[in-house]
Every structure is written in structure tokens, then in C-alpha cells.
């Protein structure tokens, strides 16, 4: 899942089969990877 930095819509793109990575809504080429909002607790040594 990616988010277009221009229009802000969420886009599903398969990177293996896609020839061009563009937003299908506005044609912008810069997309950012959406990451889960999970906090990780790390114990100190």
C-alpha cells in the first residue's frame, strides 16, 4: 500500500508487474510507503 504525495490517495501497486510507478488518479510519480503504526518496546541491557 502506497500513498500519493500529491493527491494523498492510497494506491495498491504490484512492483513486480508495474512498468511505471505512478498514481492512477493524478499521474504523480512520487509515492510513499505506508507503514503500520506499531510501537516496539526494546529492553535496555
Q: How far apart are CA 31 and CA 2, in angstroms?
A: 6
Range of the domain at 17: 1-45
* Domain tally, the chain: 1
- CATH number for the domain including 22? 2.20.28
Choose among 2, 10, 6: nearest CA to 32. 2
pLDDT in tens, 12-38: 988 888 888 999 999 999 999 998 888
pLDDT at residue 22 in the model: 92
Q: How far apart are CA 8 and CA 30, in angstroms?
A: 11
Amino acid at each position: 500500500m502506497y500513498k500519493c504525495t500529491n493527491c494523498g490517495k492510497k494506491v495498491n501497486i504490484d512492483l513486480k508487474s508495474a512498468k511505471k510507478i505512478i498514481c492512477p488518479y493524478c499521474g504523480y510519480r512520487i509515492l510513499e510507503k505506508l507503514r503500520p503504526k506499531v510501537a516496539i518496546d526494546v529492553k535496555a541491557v
